[in-house]
Every structure is written in C-alpha cells, then in structure tokens.
Structure 1
Amino acid sequence: MTMKKIEPGDPMTQSADVKAENIEQLKALFPELVTEGPQGTAINVDVLKALVGDATVTDAEEKYGLNWHGKRLARQIALTPSTGTLRPCREESVDWDTTRNLMIEGDNLEVLKLLQKSYAGKVKMIYIDPPYNTGKDFVYPDDFRDNIRNYLELTGQTDGEGRRVTSNTEASGRFHTDWLNMMYPRLRLARNLLRDDGVIFISLDDTEVANARSVCDDIFGAENFVANIVWQKKYAVSNDDPGIGVMHDHIIAYRKSETFKRGLLPRTKEQNDRYSNPDNDPRGEWASDNYVSNKSKDERPTLWYSIKHPRTGEEVWPEEHAVWRYTKDKHDQLEREGRLYWGPDHSYRKPRLKRYLNEVQQGIVPPTWWKFEDSGHNDEGQKETAKLIGKKVFSTPKPIRLLERLLEVGAPDGGIVVDFFAGSGAFGHAAISRNSKISADSLKYVLVQLPEPIDGSSSDQKVPAAFCDSINRPHNISEITKERLRRAGKKIKEKNPLFAGDTGFRVFKLDTSNIRPWQPDRDDLEKTLFNHQEHLVEGRSEQDILFELLLKLGLDLTVPMEQRAFAGKTVHSIGLGALMVCLAEQIKRADVEPLAQGILDWWRELAPAVPVQFVFRDSGFADDVAKTNLAAILEQNIPSDQLAGIRSL
C-alpha cells in the first residue's frame, strides 16, 4: 500500500453518488443485470424482464401513479452528487466541544446530498413543515447545473446575474408542478437517511396533501403509509372568512419499513384518576371492569355458567342475552387470585374484574385526530416564538406541544431527528424540551435552514429585520433559527436547573468544496498544471478540511476529535483513531521519522476498533522521498487488516 493522492474526480471530492450505489446494489443481487454499454454501465432491460418473470416491466406513460412535467429531472437531481461541503462555524455555535446537535445553514437539497455518507440509515425520525403551496415563489434555486453557485448568489454571498428561484405563480400554469419538483428530490434523499425503523412526518394543508400522498407512495411505498393525522390548528373560525373556515392541517406519516413501531401518548390525569385502592390491595391501585359480554349463549356456550355469590351463596347467571367474558377455568383462576370485585360489602349482584394500573398499557394509542387542547394551536406557536424572539417573526410556527407529541410517537426511544425546513427552529426546541422532561439526552437533532434573505422593506418582515439588527447579525432566516435555539436552550436550563443535558449545537454552513476542482485552461496547459499543484482552496482552515473529510468518509459531524503535535506538526485524531490527519504545510525528510513514530505511538494508545485511515497534505511534503518514507514506516508497523489507507490531499 502506498500513499494515494486524491485527484479531481476522486469519490472524496464529492458527496455520495446515490446512482452508482444503486447500481452496485443491483449488481450484487443480480450480476447479469448490469452490463457495459456504449456510454458506460447500463441496465439490461431484457434481463430484468426475465428476472421478474410474469411481473410487468414497463416504461409506458399511461400507468397508475402521479406524473407531472419535470418528474424525471427531479429524480435525476436527487441522484446527482454535490461538489460542495459544510464549513464549521465555531463562533456561532453553543457548547461546540460537547454538543451532539447540528444546525446547518444552506440549501437543504445540497445539504441532504452531503449528509448521505455520514447519516444514511441512522436517522430515527424526520419532521418537515415545507412551504405551503400558496401560489407564491419558493426561495430555492432552480438551476441545478451548478446548485452551489446558485445558492451563493441567491443568498447574496457572491455576485451574480438573475438570482433565480422556483417560480410557482398560478399564472405560470405550474401551480402544483413546481411544488412537486421542489419536494420530490428532497424526499427521495430524506428516505436514504432513515433507519429501517424510521419514520417521516410532513405538515401540509389541503392544497397538496393528495399530491404529497402520491409522491410518498412512490418514494416510500404505499404499504409504508402510517397515518394522516388531522391537527386542529385553530380554536375558532375567523369572522371575516369568505368561505368555509379551515381549522386544520394534515401531518402525513410514512415509515421506512414495517420494523417501525410507533410510540404511545402519555395517559391523561383523568384516565389515571379512575384507579384507586380502597381495600388496600397489595397489588396497588385498580379500577373495576365489566365482567359480562353482550354475546349470546348460543354464540359462546362455554361462557354460559353460574357463579356463586360470596355473601348470599346463591347461583348468579349472566343476563338472559349475555354471557360472562371468561371461561369457567379462567373465572376460577381469577377467583383464586382475588381479582373479583363484588362491590362494597359484597353488595353487587354480579362481579366486576379488578384491573390493576401496573398492568395497563402505560400510554394510549395515538389517534389521527389531534385536538388543540392536547397539541396546541397556531396562536400558541406564535406566542411561544414571541417570548423568545419577538412577535410575528413567523406567521405560523408550530407549537412545541405538537412537535413533542410527534417525537413521542415517532422517536419514543430517542435517536437522531432531522428537520430540513427548520424555519424558526421549533423542532430543535421541542427536541431539547423533551429531553429535559425525561432527564436524558436521548434525542439529537439536525436542523437545516436556507439563509433566506429578509426584506426589511416588506410589511410582514419588518420585525425579523429589526430582530437581526438587535443581535447584530445578517438579515436572513437562519440567523433567527440559531438565535431561537440559543435562547430556548438557556430558558430550558433556567426552568430545569437540575437538567445537565445537551442544549448546544454546532453550526455548519454550505459552501464550495475545500478541494479545488479540475478546471483546465486549454490555451495554457502549463499554467493549469502549475495552478493545480495545490489541490486545497486558498484561505480554508484545517477545520474546514477536517470536516469535509468527515463528510466524504462517512463519519458523524459530532464525532470526537483530538489533536497532538509530533516533530512540530499538528496531528488530528478523529473518531477515536478511525481517521488520523496531518495537514502540515512543510514536512521535511528529517521530520518523517519522529512524526511517524509519534503517530504510531498515539495510534497504539487509541487502539481503534476499526482500520485506521491516514490523510496528509500532498503539497506539504518537501519531496517524493519524504512522502514515500512516511508511507513506508506506517505500512511496516501497522498490520494490513488494521490499515484502511494512506492518502494525500
């Protein structure tokens, strides 16, 4: 094994190639299906037809399902890798060194692509509240040839002409089409992030719920539809409503697979108040349950028998057209266990069954109708936001009670939860609020929000613009998201002083890759070669490069990191020794042996559970001899089954 230089086009210079991975999975299952065609790897449709037998393989346009102009392109967009990266922003974060939460600023389509390697199959629950289709523009780039450049122009980070957004006015004739084109690739990528037992919840109004169901049937499979929760978002109809007052939103839920198990909602005080212990039963609080069934003795003859009354000694039978709920053998067992209740002083004519609270399911099955009394409403969401960051910063922020309820159903045992239309940050707020109530850090959130510019002259955006001025931050929505998370974390700790859980978050921002793309100048090849001697973008920090390596190698963005110096060179250990990186700008021949020895000693001390991978700055080596010698020392001292690779950037 020698030190391999990462060239332009290397998989480490882009996000996960979902299309290539799909082909590899097909090839692993059916090698004969994948062949080499005139334009590279191809799928042999004739072989596919033979493999599926009587099942029909079709490319016909007239088939059941939702079709719209742009669906094929939307599918391709989801499969196109991103060439961007996420740059760490420590100064805007809270508890950077210890937190496991993430707040990512960027276009969520590109961010979802970048998260594919690190978070595929790891997310327990996704909740999104995407832009409702009101006929107005969506503030998302629609030129996917260079989406990173588009994003930087849109958010005012670079100069450009015509900052294009997805036009969605009714006059364009694409009222539903553009919304679907915006949503489809994001949902396709979101599915990849979910664990097998994961679930996604999507908030919608009546405009797109039918289309969203069809799209999700396509992406997740109709068999994985869980529920359409109807949430009562208002407690009264507006008097000036010209039509029939809308008082609800939809929250559709789809699971990744049948292994998803929904959580239960907490029992109410009224339900628990039914239980008491008037007779000091050592088994605890109980409530009496009916002992008679409305089945007839003709239907269930084994349930028709007499019971001796414990006080009068007379034979007691069910009603004329009824039976007991239990067989005679079961009844005898219940009687021996003292589980029959005949009322105070045995005054009842028929028995009732003692049902103990500790035997009852400790929660209730979630219904599909969620009343505002249980889940909050729009006005409550606005008031919660107003207390933290000002009145009417967002028109319809979701109440924390609603989001906590969804977390109870979708992630009852914790895990990573994601919202890639983060808005005001209410979902992150709800996650840490729920953690504080159960005194655990079981939920870890990942939020994504586009830094959508705020128009200070707009009548409905004067408050957000003023708010950004008050905290001395740029005028964009993601700044409000971050500030709400800061204030929510502080408030939760003030309210729960004994809670020592994680209320911090790491901030990352979408940007162009730290690794320069190959852009040859055909008129001056010598100049091109000279310019590409250094692959790393000028002005980027070691932290920038380290976190891009995490994304490209599929490591968590909150994985533990340490650093030590050997021979005057800083070495980073990531993931307890899974990755070791040295980006020193000058490694001379004399530095090689002490540097290698220090790295080896540290590696042995860490004893990583997985093979280690080393990465060095290619231009940092004084010459090829220094580079070769360092690689040779590492190879000679690390068993081949414990060495994943040695690379240079």
Structure 2
Amino acid sequence: MDGRESYEFTWVGKREAIAEAGRPTTKTLRPDLDESVDFENSENVFITGDNLEVLKILQESYLGKIDMIYIDPPYNTGKDFVYSDKFQKTDEELKEDMELLDEEGRQVVGLTKNEKTSARYHSDWLNMMYPRIRLARNLLKDSGVIFISIDDNEQANLKTICDEVFGEENNVGNIAWRRFNSQANVGIFSTVKDTILIYSKNYNSLNFGRIPLTDTAKKEYQYKDEKGKYARRPCIDSVRGRYSYKVQLENGNVLTENWMISEDEFRKLDSEGLIHWPQNGGNPMRKIYLSDSIRKGQISSDFWGSEFGNNKNATEEIKKLFNGQRVFDFPKPTKLLGNLISLGSPESGMILDFFGGSATTADAVMQLNAEDGGNRKFILCTLDEEVADKSAAKEAGYETIDQISRERIRRAAAKIQEEHPELIGKQDFGFKAYKLDSSNFKDVSARPDQFIQGELFDSVSNIKEGRTGLDLLFQVMLTWGMELSLAIDLDKVTGAEVYDVDQGSLMACFEDEISEEVIRHIAQAQPLRAVFRDSSFANSADKINVSEIFKKLSPHTKVKVV
C-alpha cells in the first residue's frame, strides 16, 4: 500500500463528527401548551432546541417518513454564528473556554462566532454540518429529497459531504437562485446568487412534483388553434438530429436529414394535429400546449431568477406581517420555498426544516395548501437564540429567535384565513410546540454506596420534580417511535387522568396512585400499548396484579412501567 494515493475528503474532527452522529441522546421533548396553537388538533410541529439533539430524538419516530427537507444553515461568512457542539473542541480548548462550561463541567451547546481568522474555520463548520446531514438522511423516505441553501463560502465543501452521505449518484441538481436583483460594486464579481443543492435519498425512487409555470415561460405560448394556446419546439437540429427521412413542405422543398424524432413518431404527431406547419414554408415544429405544461409543470433551467422571489421580497414579507418592523435579517421568500415544496413534496407530504429561522417554510406550506387544497404538514426546529441588543426585534419585545418564528406562523396563518375565510376549519393553521429538555427521569444508576441517608426518600420516585403526565407521555411516545403529531384524548376515570393516543395505539396513566378500576378501564379498551408510572404502585404485588388484569382482559397489550 506504500506510495499509493487515493481521493479523500477529510478535516480536523471528522472522525469525531461521524461518531457524534451515532451517539445516542439523553434529551427529550416537552410539550409547551402555552406557545402552541390548537395543540389538540394540529399535526404541525414546532420544536425549540439544538437541532443535533432534536434530530437524534426524531430518529425512532420519523425514520424514513419525511418527504422533503429544506434547510438554510449558517453560511460561514466569517460573521456567522455556528452551533458550538461539544465535540468540536479538544480538552485543552475546553479548559481555556470556561465560559462555555456549565456547573458540572460540560460544554454548553449553543452558538459561537466562527471567524475566518480561526485555524479551524472550515473544520468547525463541517463538524457542525456533517452529523446533521447524516441524521437528516435517515429521516427521508426512499422517495424523499433534501434542498440546502448555501453561498460560495462553503458550497464546494457542502457538496462534497453531501456526495459522501447521499452518494454522488443521488445529486439531483444544483439551482442557482438570484437572491439580489441589484448588483453591488464589491470585488471583481458582484455575488448575487445562492446555490440550492438538491439530493435524493434514492434517485431511482425520486418522484418530483411540479412547479407553476412562470409568467416568462407562459409568454412562449403565442400560437393558438382549436385546442388552445401552444408553443413550438423544433423537430430538426443540425447538431442533435440523428434521423434521416423525407418530408415535403408546402412550398415543394423536401427535408431529409437531422430529424430529432423518428419518422413513425413524426407521422403519428402529425396525424394527431400536434405538428405546426409554418405558412411561409418553414420547418415543421412540434406543438406544446399551455394546458399540458400547466398540468405537468415546467423546470426550464437550473437558474432561478426574480420570478422565484428574492431577498428584498422576503424582507418586505416579514415587515408586512410585523407591522413594518424588520424583526428578522436575511429571511428566504415564500415564493422560493413554495416552488421548492411543490417540486419536492406531494400534496399530503411532510416537510422538515431543522434550521427554522424566520419560519418561512411553515408560511410557504400553509400558503401552498391554501392555493391547491393540499394537506402538507411541517416540522420546524430552531434555537432559542437571543436576539441582538438594540435590534428591531428587541424593540418589538422579542427576546429569542424562536419567539419570532412562532409569531410569524401565527400571523401568516391569520393572514391566510382573512384572505380565504372558506378555509377556516378545513385547513390546519396550528402547531404543537415542544422544547428540548433533559430526560424526565432521574439518573437511578448510582451504586448503593453512593446514596446518603437524606437522599433515600428522594429515590422513591424516579421522576424529576415539575414534570407532568403529558411530559412523561411524550417521552414514552418518542421511545416507542410514535409521531409527535398524533391525536391525544384525555379522559377522567374516577378522578385519574387517562391519556389515549391515536385511538388506542397507546393508553397511559401517571397518577401518584392508580386504582384497580382505572387499570381495568384501560385493559378493557384493549390498547396496543399501556404505560404506568412505577411509583404509582406501593409494592411488587400491585404490579403483578396489573399484569394479571391485562392477561385476562387484553393479553395482546404491551404493558410498560416507567
């Protein structure tokens, strides 16, 4: 092997970044009813917290279930803040960076500025992105697709790690989107574009949707017959044409070479009235009807201009929603996201955005559903990053980015309902809000010699103080791989709260004391799963009694005590 060379893309910390993607999380998601909108009925999800931990939590419940992912990560311009994951720093760096340690000596996961002067400028960004991309791929359906916005600072590196994670053969394409209409006189070239990388989970299973025809494309359909407007496409090309046969024109001339379609296909199209014969005796051309193009959609180029929106449009959208205040910098326009969603997701698809930012993705999903009657759902995740001091967001009373994101969804939903009152009660305009937090369960792995007399009573319950039955329910649901959007009914049985998830997929009761009547009520409903709190039972005999009741009334129910 000595002296042999091979192609390899690596950087400082890559091995640990790969390991981090496979490392389990100890976190969970807790429901936030106060911040939710229509929590009981909505199937949309909004999560506040570090997206690396969130992606790990979602692995069981959403493995292979997401139709489309869109993310707009930090571009690493040298001014951006990137997620400071714990594995990006060496032990020595951690010791030097004590302001990022908590009282237990662990690094706080949050945001840190990634300066271009740093020796690990590119490495830190790649370490942040790599495990997230790997975990995101797991969540996609086999027919799923991911769109990633990026600029030239990390476009090449991002494409290379996507080639590694998804496979080069699954690169669907790269869109050049013009984010600015004007050109600034900066540098040799004025940078006016972003790149949108597109990767499929499995290219052979990819099922792209359609995007609406642009006004520019519609102008090509300037001819008309009894079937409607149509555009013309050449049948002859001196370079690409590879068929030879004779066709006589109305002026007597005969064409023999460079046909792009076979003679049989040409004759068939002509018999169906799908060939345009110019009155001046020019070359026959194929008809492409506007009605067909609208139905099928059209992607004419990998360059997307102003008809797909730009940064100015996006800023104006935010300002209109927030009464003229620019509460978020550099959002993406809903027109851009709407077209990407039309392309990458079916009308009943599930869309994930784990760099949620200003919540443009959620806004675009709701707008698109209103336009075409779709039933798309979104899952958004963003950090509770503090807004800048003296910013418009701060002056407007917002403390963190996630507050702005949720308010954007509320206001966008209200605007759509005002414009389309007929959709009220028919379209999902709400969301279930969750916050990333530590496990609801205490660490009970301590050895007997580690307990002291004063802590013995505390160890009776393994549930942390302040955690509710709903908190426990969702942690159990995630552990069992159940989706966060499932409907939950709450019933009172002899004063005890009994949760019913998805009409019998899971039933649970977490009261301090549970009567036999409650247990029999749950068993008689014959749910697929039943969960109880360990400290609800005084002794082992009570637990055995639960087991016996279910064996008699619902032997197929999986019973768990937590």
- Rounded to whole Å, the distance in 2 between the matches of 1:273 and 1:256 is 36
Return the offset for 1:534: 0.9
Instruction: Give deviations 1:180-225, integer Å, cap 9, x for gaps.
Output: 1111111111111111111111111111111111111111112111
Equivalent in the alignment of 1:465: 394
SS of alignment partner, residue 404 of structure 1 = helix
1:576 lines up with 2:492 in the alignment: no
8 A contact 2:212–2:339 mirrored in 1 = no
Number of the residue aligned with 1:21:
none
Find the aligned partners of 1:290 and 1:177 in 2 and give their Cα distance. Answer: 49
- Residue in structure 1 matched with residue 327 of structure 2 by the alignment: 393
CA distance in 2, matches of 1:182, 1:391: 32
Amino acid at match of 2:501: I
Deviation at 1:623, TM superposition (A): 2.8
* CA spacing shift, 1:578–1:245, aligned 2, 3 Å: same
Quickly say closer, same or farther: Cα 1:269–1:229, change in 2 above 3 A. Answer: closer
Structure 1 residues 438 and 554 mapped into 2: Cα distance closer, same or farther (>3 Å)? same
* 2:197 paired with 1:252: yes
| Within-5 A mapping of 1:182-581 | 182-239=128-185, 241-258=186-203, 259-269=205-215, 271-272=217-218, 281=226, 284-287=227-230, 289=232, 293-294=236-237, 300-301=243-244, 303-304=245-246, 306=248, 316-319=252-255, 327=263, 337=272, 356-360=289-293, 362-365=296-299, 367-371=301-305, 373-389=306-322, 390-441=324-375, 443-456=376-389, 461-467=390-396, 469=397, 475-499=399-423, 500-518=426-444, 520=446, 522-524=449-451, 530-581=457-508
> Any idea what SS the aligned residue of 1:452 has?
coil
Give the counterpart letter for 1:378 in structure 2: N
Q: Distance between the aligned counterparts of 1:89 and 1:168, measured in 2?
A: 32
Q: Cα distance, 1:381 vs. partner?
A: 1.2
1:340-364 superposed Cα distances (whole Å, 9 cap, x missing partner): 66678xx868866655555556211
Moved more, 529-538 or 104-113: 529-538
Task: Kindly indicate whether residue 535 of structure 2 is the aligned counterpart of residue 619 of structure 1.
Answer: yes
**2: distance between equivalents of 1:226 and 1:142?**
30
Deviations, residues 132-153 of structure 1 (Å, cap 9, x unaligned) = 112246353433599xxx9xx9
**Structure 1 364/530 Cα, relative in aligned 2: closer, same or farther at 3 Å?**
same
**Which stretch shifts more, 176-185 or 241-250?**
241-250
Q: Give, in angstroms, the shift of residue 265 of structure 1.
A: 2.4
8 Å contact kept, 2:179–2:309: yes
- Which deviates further from its counterpart, 287-296 or 384-393? 287-296
Correspondence for 1:132: 75
Amino acid at match of 1:552: T
Larger radius of gyration: 1
Tell me the SS of whatever aligns to 1:91: coil
Consecutive unaligned residues in structure 2, runs of 5 or more: none
Contact 2:172 2:199 in 1 (8 A): yes
TM-superposed deviation, 1:559: 0.4
Q: Structure 1, residues 590-613: CA drift from partner, whole Å, max 9, x if none? A: x32x3333223333xxxx6xxx11
Q: Percent identity?
A: 36
Q: Report Cα offsets for 1:455-499 as digits up to 9, x if no partner.
A: 42xxxx5211112x2xxx5x1111111111111111111122222
1:148-167 matches, cutoff 5 A: 165-166=111-112
Contact 1:107 1:510 in 2 (8 A): yes
Q: Which whole-Å CA distance do the structure 2 matches of 1:178 and 1:318 have between them?
A: 66
Hey, what's the Cα distance between the residues in 2 that align with 1:418 and 1:300? 47
**TM-score with structure 2 setting the length:** 0.87
Distance 1:95 1:154 in 2: 40
Query: Superposed, which structure 2 residues align to 1:57-76 within 5 Å?
Result: 63-76=6-19
| 8 A contact 1:201–1:251 mirrored in 2 | yes
SS in 2 for 1:182: helix
Which amino acid is the alignment partner of residue 379 of structure 2?
Answer: V
Deviation at 1:433, TM superposition (A): 1.1
Report the 3-state secondary structure (helix = DSSP H, G, I; strand = E; otherwise coil) of the residue aligned with 2:351: strand
Letter matched to residue 432 of structure 1 = M
- Bigger shift: residues 154-163 or 549-558: 154-163
Cα distance in 2 between the residues matched to 1:452 and 1:291? 55
C-alpha distance after superposition, 1:82-101 (max 9, x if no partner)? 11111101111111111111
- Paired amino acid for 1:101: N
Number of residue-to-residue matches in the alignment: 547
Partner amino acid, structure 2, of 1:602: A
> How far apart, in 2, do the equivalents of 1:385 and 1:200 lie?
25
Aligned-residue CA RMSD (Å): 3.5
Query: Deviation at 1:626?
Result: 2.3
CA contact (8 A) 1:292 1:318 kept: no
Is the 1:596–1:630 contact (alpha carbons within 8 Å) kept by the matching residues of 2?
yes
In the alignment, residue 230 of structure 1 is paired with which amino acid? A
C-alpha displacement of 1:158 = 9.0
Q: Is the contact made by 1:139 and 1:452 (CA closer than 8 Å) also made in structure 2?
A: no
Structure 1 residues 117, 586: CA separation in 2 closer, same or farther (over 3 Å shift)?
same
Match of 1:28 in 2: none
Supply the distance in 1 between the matched residues of 2:281 and 2:342 (Cα, whole angstroms): 41
SS where residue 356 of structure 2 aligns? coil
Cα 1:439–1:300 change in 2 (3 A) is: closer
Q: Conserved in 1, the CA contact under 8 Å of 2:82 and 2:125?
A: no
Task: Quote the Cα distance in structure 2 between the aligned partners of 1:218 and 1:299.
Answer: 38
Q: Which runs of 5+ in 1 are unaligned?
A: 1-57, 310-314
Are the structure 2 counterparts of residues 185 and 289 from structure 1 closer, same or farther at C-alpha, using a change threshold of 3 Å? closer
- Give the match's secondary structure for 2:421: coil
1:632 counterpart letter in structure 2: E
Counterpart position of 1:4: none
CA–CA separation in structure 2 for the residues paired with 1:288 and 1:262: 24
Hey, what does 1:638 align to over in structure 2? 554
Give the conservation status (yes or no) of the 8 Å contact 1:454–1:476.
yes
Describe the SS at the equivalent of 1:293: coil
1:523-545, Cα deviation, whole Å (9 max, x unpaired): 43666665332111111111111
- Counterpart of 1:466, as a letter, is E
Match of 1:597 in 2: 520
SS of residue in 2 equivalent to 1:213: helix
Alignment partners' CA distance in 2, 1:154 and 1:100? 39
Letter matched to residue 548 of structure 2 = A
Q: What corresponds to 1:119 in structure 2?
A: 62
Residue 85 of structure 1 contacts residue 510 of structure 1 at CA under 8 Å; is this kept in 2? yes
**Does the aligned pair in 1 maintain the 2:14–2:127 contact within 8 Å?**
yes
